[in-house]
Structure 1
Amino acid sequence: MNYRLLWAGAISGLALHLAGLGWDVYRHSRDVTLAQREDVLSLANPSHLMIVAGTAIMAACLLGIAVTWMNERRFGGEGAFGGLLRGAGLPAVGIAAAGSIWLASRADSSGHVHDASHSHGPQQAIVLDLPLARAVGNETAARFVASSGGHTHASAGSFGADAAMGEGSAHHHHAEVPVTAEQLEAAAAFVARLRTAIAPYEDIRRAMADGYLQITQDLPGIAAHFIRLDYRNDGREMDPERPEVLLYTKRLDGTWRLVGAMFLAEGVTEEPPSYFGPLDAWHYHENLCFVGSGVRTVASREQCPGAFTARTPWQLHVWTVPTAGGVFAHDMPEIDPGAFPGAVLPAAQELRAQAR
C-alpha cells in the first residue's frame, strides 16, 4: 500500500472537514436563529455533510495506514491471536466510529426558544368528529387547542390529559372540556370565513401592497408577523374579514407561505376575550422591542433602541394550513424548527433583491 496516497487522502479529508466547519460558521453568522432549528448533526445540512464526509475520509485513510503498518510488522505475532487482532481490531474501531456519527445525526435538539416572553395558562385539546370538521380541515381532524385563559406548549400528539379515576374498576379518559355544539359550529364557521378572506394574500406581495408591514423575523413555531396598522383599533375585534396580522413563513417549503392570521384584542385587559368558550387560546407578550422587521425581549425600555411595548393586548393565532398543533394553538409544530431554514432577510428586502 502506498503510504503517500493514504496520507494524501487523510489530508484531503481534513481539508474537507475544515471547509465544512467554516461554511457552517458562516451560515450561523448569517442566520442567528439557525441554532434553534438545527439538530446536533443533520446530514441534510450541506455543511454538516461536508464535516461528516471529511471526517470519514480522514478516518478511513488513517485506519488504512494503521492496517498497512500492522500487517507489515506482523503486529500481534504470527499466531491466530495476531491474525484476529489485525483482521478484526481496526474494522471494529471503524464500525464504532461510523455508529457514533449515525447516532449524532439522529440526535434531536428538542425544545425551542421564543424571542418574546408570553403569559399563558393550562391548555387542552379537542378532536371534533363532526361533519362541520370539514370547514376546519379534514387533514387535522379539526383539532382545536382549548384554553380558558391562555396556552401552554405541547408537543405534537400530546393532546388531552391522561387522568385516572378509581370507582370500583379504574378507567382512563381525556380531560373533558365544557364546550357546546354552538361554540364548535361558530369556531368552524369562523375559520372557514377567515380562509376565504385571506386567500388573496397567498401572494405575500399582495399583502404588503395592501398595507401589511413585517414586524418580526421568521420565528420558529410562530412564523413572521405582518401587521396592518389601520386594522389595529378599528372597533372590529375578531373580524375574519379584517385580521390585524398575517403569518408567513419560509420554514415549510423554502418560499414565503401564508400559514395563518393573528387577531388582537381592542384593549389591554386582565382577562382575555372569549368567542368560542374554551376553544380560543389567547396569549399576550411583555417587554417587546421592535427594531425594523425584527423583535426581541428586553428587560426595560432603556435597553430597546426601537419601539418598546411593555405589554401587548391579548392575541390569538389561527392557523389556516394543516397542523398537528391545533387551529388555535400558539405554536405550529411543523415550523419549529421547520423543514427549511427561516428567512434571513425581511420579505420586502428579499423580494426587491429578486426583482433586480
Structure 2
Amino acid sequence: MKYRALWGAAVGGLAIHFLGLGWDVYRHSSDSTLAQREDVLSLGNPSHLMIVVGMAIVAASLLGMAAAWMAERRLGGDGLPGAMVRGVSLPVISIVAGGSIWLASTAEDGSHDHGTTDHVHAPGTPEDHPHDSEGGPGTQDSAAFLVARQGSAAGVATHGHTNGAAAEEDSMGEGSAHTHGIEVAVSGEQLLAAGKFAAAVKEKTAKYIDVREALTAGYVQITPDLPGIAAHFIRSDYQRDGHEMDPERPEVLLYSKRLDGNWRLLGAMFMAESAGETPPSYFGAVDVWHRHENLCFTAGAQVRTTASAAECRGGVFVKATAYQMHVWVEPGGTGVFAHDYAPISPGAFAGATQLAASELRAQVR
C-alpha cells in the first residue's frame, strides 16, 4: 500500500512538472523577449516554480520508496553500520539534489547579454563582432535602421610589461615594468567636439522627454523595449534629409519603460544617409558606428536574422542597414556613445509589452 501511495505521488509530481514546462513554452512563444530577461531558473517565475516543485515531489517519492526498500531488506545489516548507511545515505542524496536546484536558480544565462541581430562596426573601429536583438518596423525605410544591442565604444583594459627578453625599453634604453590602460588615438580637439555634441543632443532632445511629443512630431515606434538598447522611434523623413549627425534632427529617439514604469527618453541614434555610405569618424576613436545585416522585419514589431530574402516570408528583408550610432543622454551607462545602456540590461522592470501609441490611446479611452 505504501508503495502504491508513493508511486501515485510520483506520477502527480511528474504531471505538475510537465504542466510547468508547457506553461513556460507558452509564455516564451507569447513574449519573444522573455528569454532575454530571465535567468536559467527563476523561482519567481510560476512556470519555473511548477517545474521545480513537480520534480521535488517525484524525487521525494522515489526517496521514500528507496527508504522503505532499504528498511525492509535491512540494507547494511542489523548493526550500527547498517543503521548509519540507511540513516545517512538518503539525506545526503537529498542535500545534493537540493543544492543542484539552488545552483541552477542562482546561475545567470550568458545568452542574456545579447539579442538576435548581427551588426558590424564601421572600418577603423576597435573590433568587429556580432550581436543580436529583436524588434521591427512596418516599412523598408524603418527596417533599414534597426539597432542591435552593442558593446562599449572603446575598451580600457590594463596590462603589464615585465623585465626580460620581451621587455620593452624606455627612453633611457633600459627595460621597464609598468601597467597602463589601452591608448586611444584621439586628440584634445576631438574630445572637446565629442563633449559639445553630446551636450547638444541632450539639449535638443529635451523637448521629447514626453513620448507623446515624439509621436506628435512624427516619430514612429518600430521596436519593442529591448534590454540594453531600449525601444526605437524613427522619423523616416530625417533619414535622407541631408543632415547627418545633426542634434536638432536625430533620425531615432530611444525610450525605455523599464526603469520606473513610465516611458523615459534615454538617448538618440544617428544614421548615415545611405546604406552604402561609410560614415566619417567625427570624433576619432570615440565614436563607433555599426550596421546590421540580413534582417527580416515582420508584423507586430518583430525582427529576426535570416540567411536570405527567401526565408523572410511575409516580411521585409534588409540585406544591410545604414551605419548608425547611439548617443545616450541619461547617466549610468558605460559611455555616451556606448553600444548598450547598462541600467536596462535587462533592467529592474520588464520592458513594455505594447507599443507606446497603442498604450496611450488606451489610456485616453
| Deviation readout 1:293-348 (Å, 9 max, x if unpaired) | 33333444455444444433221111223344322122334444444444444333
Please report how far the alpha carbon of residue 26 of structure 1 lies from its aligned counterpart in structure 2 after TM superposition.
1.0
Q: How does 1:189-268 map to 2 (within 5 A)?
A: 189-252=196-259, 256-268=263-275
> TM-score if structure 2 supplies the norm length?
0.76
What is the aligned length? Answer: 330
2: CA distance, partners of 1:123 / 1:72? 69
State the identity as a percent: 59
For residues 317 and 22 of structure 1, do their structure 2 counterparts lie closer, same or farther at Cα, with a shift above 3 Å needed? same
**Are 1:325 and 2:334 an aligned pair?**
yes
- In structure 2, list runs of 5 or more residues that go unmatched: 128-147, 162-166, 170-174
- In structure 1, list runs of 5 or more residues that go unmatched: 125-150
> What corresponds to 1:86 in structure 2?
86
My pick for the range that moved more, 39-48 or 277-286, is 39-48
> What corresponds to 1:123 in structure 2?
126
My pick for the range that moved more, 107-116 or 17-26, is 107-116
1: CA distance, partners of 2:324 / 2:296? 17
Please report how far the alpha carbon of residue 59 of structure 1 lies from its aligned counterpart in structure 2 after TM superposition.
2.2
Please report how far the alpha carbon of residue 272 of structure 1 lies from its aligned counterpart in structure 2 after TM superposition.
1.9
- Residue among 157, 160, 170 paired with 1:160: 157
**Are 1:53 and 2:53 an aligned pair?**
yes
1: CA distance, partners of 2:13 / 2:260? 32
Letter in 2 for 1:117: D
My pick for the range that moved more, 275-284 or 297-306, is 297-306
Letter in 1 for 2:120: S
Please report how far the alpha carbon of residue 252 of structure 1 lies from its aligned counterpart in structure 2 after TM superposition.
4.5
**Are 1:291 and 2:298 an aligned pair?**
yes
2: CA distance, partners of 1:44 / 1:156? 35
Preserved contact between residue 120 and residue 292 of structure 2 (Cα < 8 Å): yes
> What corresponds to 1:315 in structure 2?
324
2: CA distance, partners of 1:50 / 1:200? 47
Q: How does 1:56-135 map to 2 (within 5 A)?
A: 56-71=56-71, 73-111=73-111, 112-120=113-121, 122-123=125-126
Please report how far the alpha carbon of residue 80 of structure 1 lies from its aligned counterpart in structure 2 after TM superposition.
1.4
> What corresponds to 2:131 in structure 1?
none
> What corresponds to 1:141 in structure 2?
none
| Deviation readout 1:106-150 (Å, 9 max, x if unpaired) | 3332145444332215439xxxxxxxxxxxxxxxxxxxxxxxxxx
> What corresponds to 2:287 in structure 1?
280
> What corresponds to 1:169 in structure 2?
176
For residues 219 and 28 of structure 1, do their structure 2 counterparts lie closer, same or farther at Cα, with a shift above 3 Å needed? same
My pick for the range that moved more, 82-91 or 345-354, is 345-354
RMSD of Structure 2 on Structure 1 (CA): 3.5
Preserved contact between residue 291 and residue 306 of structure 1 (Cα < 8 Å): yes
> What corresponds to 1:143 in structure 2?
none
| Deviation readout 1:234-272 (Å, 9 max, x if unpaired) | 333222232110122345556543322101123445532
> What corresponds to 1:132 in structure 2?
none
